[in-house]
Amino acid sequence: MSQLKVYVASAGAGKTHSLTREYLRLALQKDFRSIQAVTFTNKATEEMKQRILQELYAIATQEVEQGKRRSPFFDELCADLHYSPSELKEQASACLRGLLLDYSSFRIKTIDAFFQEVLRAFARELNLSGGFRLSLESEQALDEAVVAVLAEQDTLNAKDDVQQWIIQLARELILRGKGHNLKAAIGRLARELKREDVKKLSTGGQLPSREMLKTFKRLLARRERELEQALLKLAEVVLEHLSTLGIVVEDLSYTTGGGLSPFFKILDAASELKNLISSERFDPTPKRFLDALEDPSTLISKSKAELRDKRALLGADEELRGLLLLYQDSINKISPELLSIYSMQDLLDSYGLIAEVDRKLKEIQRENNAMLLMDAPAFINRILSDRSGVNFIYEKIGTRIDHQMIDEFQDTSLLQYENFLPLLEDSLASGHDNLVVGDVKQSIYRFRNSDSSLLGKRVFDDFVNTHKITLAENWRSTPEVVGFNNQLFASLARQLTAHYADLIAEVAAQNSTINLEQTAPLANLFVDYYADLVQSVPSARADRKGAVVLHRYTLVGNEQPQDQDTDAYSDDEHTQVEEANCIEEHLLSYQLPNMLIDLQKRGYKPSDIAILVRNQSEATAIAELLEQASEELLEGGLYSLDLLSAEALLLSNALSVRLAIAALGYISAPNSKEALFLLQEVHHQLYPESGDSRQIDPKILEAIQQAGRKNLYEMVESIFSIYQDRLDAGEVIHQIKLLDIALNFQQDLSADVADFLKMWARRGDQYRLTVPEDERKIRLMTVHKSKGLGFPVVLLPFPSWELIPRTSSKQPILWCRMPLSLGEDLPEYVPVQYRRLLLKTHFAKEYLVESINMSLDALNLFYVATTRAKAELHIWLPDQQTSNEKKLNHLLRSKSGSPLTILALLETALGEELPCIERLLDMPLELPNISQYYWSNQAEQTDEGFVHLDQLHTYPIGERIEILREGLSYFDETNPRLYGSLMHYVLSEIGTADDIPQALLRAEGLGLMRAEHREAYTHDLNQWLSGLEQQRWFDGSARVLRELPIVGGGIDGSKRPDRVMIYPDGSAEIVDYKFGKSRWQYRKQLQTYMDLLSKMGYNPVRGYVWYPIEGRIDPIE
């Protein structure tokens, strides 16, 4: 019976080994074309392919070629597949030969690549022409949409409500001291459209219209007034009742601060009730109120004997007790609803701007005949909405996939999973095995829509016949590292479970909207996900030695932390900087550099050492420190503190790249003083002998201006050519990378220099080089980048990251189901800002779920960090036994005692006496030499296998190799079908006869034709367009629709005529181009088009079948 195998692969458990074995098991008995394995990165894809090919070769040559590597799978596959050794080798050889001969059918690809394949196969169903563009640049598209929204406000099409939303956003920015960059602020809101839950609303047409939002805002305001008036009325009734009894404020215990304080506060804040109700400091039922509820006489002061009668009067006043009970009941119902309304109102204008950007984004995509890759899962989801969609997809992509293998399943998003779900169901129903592999403990990409609950629970709910296989052995790390992580994360998971169990119980007791029985299980997520935590070390590796070392340092500084609100944390940035300064003074200036040298003295190469940080600011601090380290530590160059970091690989840091960008800026704006100044500054760095002069030789400026007449790729190439004698030979790889970027941008997006510079301004600092490893350099990277890697030594200098972000700029927007019934035709989902106040609203459960998920993200990130170590793990912790213990405790815990950082949890875990830890403060460390060799910068290195480029040589475009993407058949000038396809494409690109040259250039750029044929093709096209009828079709007098679909009207799918001309008098003409023999079906097809246009109101409608090669036009009645 078919099964869905679910491999749970903790860190270092041999996931790739298991995947390779499963693929080989299938490929050696089935057609490899029917197997698909998907993962999430190109690097993982290539590594998987190489591993499979290597193993197939090793199996095919097993015990045949001396000295060849023996495959670890050979004996296991013989047993599983019931093959003799010779049969297995024969099968492996045949499979390897098939893969190499049909490599394009070797279906190991990224999940995005698979979705792109499906989208391109469905181009026509998407109503996109064959030349549509699938854009990966979601950020660029969102940026364009934001600019379009802002630009529209300066036109006659400006919308009053949109203007008000923008004005309100500007006010909020100014009030919060966040500047006035509206474009950036709206851009941050627009990124919500990248979230899958919001994308579903967009594709489902559920984002609200302007009118809907206007109605929603009015209804919320009306309900707000009703609830506030109810509270005010209650407060007035209570105090008026006391007045009728002759009781004045002076008679009350604590006057206005006693048991009736909520009523005085409500009436005092009548005009600003929102500020009062929303305040963390406002308690609607304080202890003195509850005392008065039990005994109203406690409201009267005991210190005055003359008030004894009034105390007795209130003690027997059942009406007052009833009013207090009514208030308690009312406030428990009104407060959650009122606070929910406030929370929704806070983001209503932002909601409108998000919806407006979404409308503009769709408009831009339609105009540019493009689709964003981030939209792909939602589209494929619609195709697969019924079972027949599975066969439809396989039919469109031209192959049937019987076996699906999904790697890194914990990083799969909900929509991606829902797209694979019917494919998996179909495969299992057909009797085929499938496989998913992942580890919920390593799910760290929730910000990219990954959903760890799919592997944690959903997949087991959806598939009854699952076979869970836990890979419990760690092949990466030493027993000391494995033992430490086993104990540490069991403790951390228990702590977080207990913390959230207490929090949920506390919230449920105060918020009637929370069902404790349904919500309490959420706290178990930590222990559930870490249930498969414990690993063992294989006996073959149990004798390896390692260490876990905790380094203590002292926090200094006299400033005491302020008592901060858990939501505001206005001093958060100051606190982080202060803490970083403490760390820099004690950790970075002494311990870390000495630690790195000590590791090298004990035999580790610099490349064996990885320093893992959480963000770029921490990486920068480390890099700056090591640059300033004493030269004496290096002992004359014997040791190294050089870093290989993302910063060092940034393309924008190369002088040659900065030169090219500055020159492009000058080409784009030759009259701009700023552009010239930037070019002069970079030029001066290449010509330092010019002294203080920043002037550029006029001949160089003229050459740069001449380069501006070429296309984008050649422009960059020419700039490098102009300065080639001055450019650093070590930056050739940077130049090649920039040329690749320019070429891809020119082909996929635009050849316009200004557009390229806009893209570079937005994304230039994200481009990095991929270079071979250098054993002289220490690795410095973020934890996210380290996932999937392992290093002999890992250093974690900053383990104090937060579980919950305290600054508002880092806190997410939650998209929640509308909790109130205010009427029909209102948004089904609403955005609310994540903040602790939500615990008192109808959104309390959503707040708890997000808090738990954020804490799980932080815990998983720490797990990924500590499990990268193969031999030694070093963690730096502040020494709590100092004069600054009060300050440290503030950094670690909130006012309520809830843990805010991983460091707080770690300190608690250490109190449980975790094993395998060396507590060492002095250096050198008394640990054994784990390596078998010492690294030395004097070691011999070979250049074998490397190609050295000292200069980037350029060639004129006419001398370059031409590539015809449609294959060698294009060299056959007698092929009429291909000639017709080419001309059909060119005609579809022509609006008027003036467009012929550009259309041919585009065809040439796509590899559809050769440059030497351009003149002949131009002659043919001009001749075809010279007839009287043709002149009218291409003279620009009509609105031309080229290959656009006609949908609706009761037709199945869509109809796509080649060319429709709509004239000002309401008449229309339809032309279909045909390059083969005349057929009667062509006339019938055109009559269908004409009938559809007539139904659309165009009259008269004329139709023609045009045979350009024959010079014949057949009019259709």
CA torsion through residues 174, 175, 177, 182, sign: negative
**How high is the pLDDT of residue 1049?**
53
Q: Is residue 199 a part of any domain in this protein?
A: no
| Residue 888 confidence (pLDDT) | 38
CB atoms near residue 582 (< 10 Å): 20
- Which pLDDT score, from 0 to 100, does residue 237 have? 95
327 contacts: CB under 8 Å, gap ≥ 6: 234, 235, 238, 262, 263
Same domain, 814 and 842: yes
pTM of the model: 0.76
Distance from the Cα of residue 519 to its chain's centroid: 29
pLDDT in tens, 848-879: 999 999 999 999 999 999 999 999 999 988 76
Q: Does residue 113 share a domain with residue 25?
A: yes
Task: Give the span between the Cα atoms of 982 and 313, in whole angstroms.
Answer: 100
Record the tokens describing residue 780, joined without a space: 């410095």
Distance CA 711, CA 701 (A): 18
Distance from C-alpha of 185 to C-alpha of 215, rounded to nearest angstrom: 25
**Tokens representing 387?**
């079972």
Please compute, for residue 359, the number of CA atoms within 13 A of its CA located in the half-sphere on the CB side.
Answer: 13
Give CA–CA dist 892/886, Å, rounded.
10
Whether 672 and 759 share a structural domain = yes
Let me know if residue 374 belongs to a domain.
no
Q: Are strands 869-878 and 791-796 parallel, antiparallel or unpaired?
A: parallel
In-domain check, residue 820: yes
Tokens 């406000």 sit on residue:
153
Q: Do residues 889 and 847 share a domain?
A: yes
Judge if 669 and 749 occupy the same domain.
yes
The side-by-side arrangement of strands in the sheet containing 1112-1116 is 1039-1042, 1059-1062, 1068-1073, 1101-1107, 1112-1116
Domain hosting 987: range is 970-1116
Domain stop point among 745, 766, 787:
766
Q: At which of 766, 791, 812 does a domain end? A: 766
1015 domain residue, yes or no: yes
| Model pLDDT, residue 1006 | 67
Q: Would you say residue 20 lies in a domain? A: yes
Contacts with 1026 (C-beta within 8 Å, 6 or more apart), sequence order: none
In a 10 Å sphere around its CB, with 0-12 CB exposed, 13-18 middle and 19+ buried, how is residue 1055 labelled?
middle
Regarding whether 629 and 749 lie in a shared domain, the answer is no
> How many independent structural domains does the chain possess?
5
CATH number reported for the structural domain that contains residue 634 in this entry: 3.40.50
C-alpha 1070/C-alpha 1064 separation (Å) is 15
Q: Between vectors from CA 1052 to CA 1049 and to CA 1054, what angle results, nearest 5°?
A: 75
Long-range interactions of 933-938: CB distance < 8 A, separation 24+: 933/603, 934/600, 934/603, 935/600, 935/603, 935/604, 935/605, 935/606, 935/775, 936/638, 937/637, 937/638, 937/640, 937/776
Judge whether 529 lies within some domain.
no
Residue 330 has which token pair? 């009312």
Q: 657 and 612 share a domain?
A: no
Structural domain includes residue 498: no
Measured distance CA(405)–CA(108) in Å, rounded: 9
My answer on whether 792 and 740 are in the same domain is no
Q: What is the pLDDT of residue 966?
A: 42
Q: Does one domain contain both 781 and 641?
A: yes
Which tokens go with 396? 């469109």
Q: Are residues 637 and 676 in the same domain?
A: no
In a domain, 506, yes or no: no
pLDDT at 892 (0 to 100)? 38
Looking at 766, 783, 816, which one is the last position of a domain? 766
Decide the pairing of beta strands 466-471 and 1039-1042.
unpaired
CA 591 to CA 584: how far, in whole Å?
10
Q: 262, 239, 248, 251: which is closest to 302 by C-alpha?
A: 251
Q: Which residues of the chain have pLDDT under 70?
A: 1, 63-69, 123-137, 369-371, 373, 385-389, 554-590, 645-649, 691-692, 748-751, 770-775, 807-809, 879-899, 912-977, 1005-1007, 1047-1054
Candidates 212, 202, 190; CA nearest to 144 is 190
Q: Are residues 598 and 675 in the same domain?
A: no
For position 57, which CATH number holds? Answer: 3.40.50.300
DSSP 899: B
Query: Same structural domain for residues 584 and 663?
Result: no
| The pLDDT of residue 121 | 78
Please name the residue that has the structure tokens 């190369």.
654
